[in-house]
Amino acid sequence: MSLSAAVETSGLSKAYDGKTVVDNLRLRIAEGEIFGLLGPNGAGKTTTILMLLGLTEPTSGTASIYGHNPTREPLQVKRLIGYLPENVGFYDNLTARENLQFIAELNGIGEAEADARVTELLDAVGLHDVNDLVVGKYSKGMKQRLGIADVLIKRPKVAILDEPTAGLDPEGINQVLDLITGLPEKGAMVILSSHQLYQVQKICHRVGIMSQGKLVVEGALDELGKKVGGGTRYQIEVETTEPGIRAIAIIKKVKGVIRVETKGNMLLIGTNSDLRAEISKAMVNNNLPLIQMRIQTLTLDDIYMRYFKEG
């Protein structure tokens, strides 16, 4: 995987007025991937995207787009990336075709080539029949599909889409997701952000979940559950009256224990196998009171409840 990472960040951080909003982010995204950067509002997704684009400078750490540093080589990076911002703006009094032609011109694409690309893209995003309507008359879903055509006009190697399904009705969401699914075939890997886990997860090959600026879990969806909270498949939760440093030391000695944290009277123990017997034995042998114990595997629902549920 790291062999072909096309987009990478390492230690990427951003603070505004001393408040860290992107915290030590390490991402590796490969060519051909659809990567979902997910997390609730305020998690730091847009700020991360702006740093990838070279539109905001990191406070520390680095990003690399096909080996180019967005801060030092913004032009090379902008050539590689097609970007759909959260609130895409078009000229409302121009038609879809005119808007795209204008973007093509800005990108230095010659007129004949631009005409061909615009026609092909309007067709691809299903706006062929309405291409002569002014964009002011478009629905939000149509505008968003035009936004995807806009991203593709310069044939980017990386498409970065910020909240591409926000505010769309279910049909609009499906149309946009279908289009995004086809982007890797068109030669563009995809990074999309969303605060709606369930809406976009099905089209993502991998996701990274951000919470309060940190990447809390990352991976393919079917393996995400086991990764929540530190790379383990199970969380064994033990209630004890003595959840101190001694308890942590005792549990850490049990073979197979990967992580131990305390939360109130609970010891939260990360493992990759069911170590309930071994843990209770170690506790009894060390006179550590064991009140109760349970084991759980983490699922997408747990992730949702833990990181996305608001209020």
Ligand X SMILES: Nc1ncnc2c1ncn2[C@@H]1O[C@H](COP(=O)(O)OP(=O)(O)O)[C@@H](O)[C@H]1O
Binding site for ligand X (CB under 6 A): 16, 21, 39, 41-47
Which of ligand X, Mg ion, none does residue 44 bind (CB under 5 to 8 Å by kind)? ligand X
Toward Mg ion, which CB reaches closer, 88 or 266? Answer: 88
* Residues contacting residue 257 through CB under 8 Å, at least 6 positions apart: 251, 269, 270, 271, 275, 279
Which of ligand X, Mg ion, none does residue 101 bind (CB under 5 to 8 Å by kind)? none
Q: How far is the CB of 148 from ligand X (least distance, A)?
A: 19
Q: How far is the CB of 42 from ligand X (least distance, A)?
A: 4
Nearest to 166 by CA among 143, 191, 150: 143
Neighbouring C-alpha atoms within 13 Å toward the C-beta of 142 = 19
* CB neighbours of residue 306 within 10 Å: 15
> Binding to Mg ion (CB under 5 A): which residues in 23-52?
45-46
Toward Mg ion, which CB reaches closer, 39 or 270? Answer: 39
Nearest to 181 by CA among 124, 237, 244, 96: 124
- The Cα–Cα gap between 37 and 163 comes to 10
* CB neighbours of residue 277 within 10 Å: 8
Toward Mg ion, which CB reaches closer, 161 or 217? Answer: 161
* Residues contacting residue 116 through CB under 8 Å, at least 6 positions apart: none
- The Cα–Cα gap between 32 and 46 comes to 22
Which of Mg ion, ligand X, none does residue 217 bind (CB under 5 to 8 Å by kind)? none
Toward ligand X, which CB reaches closer, 51 or 177? Answer: 51
Toward ligand X, which CB reaches closer, 41 or 241? Answer: 41
Which of Mg ion, ligand X, none does residue 21 bind (CB under 5 to 8 Å by kind)? ligand X
Which of Mg ion, ligand X, none does residue 232 bind (CB under 5 to 8 Å by kind)? none
Contact set with Mg ion (CB under 5 A): 45-46
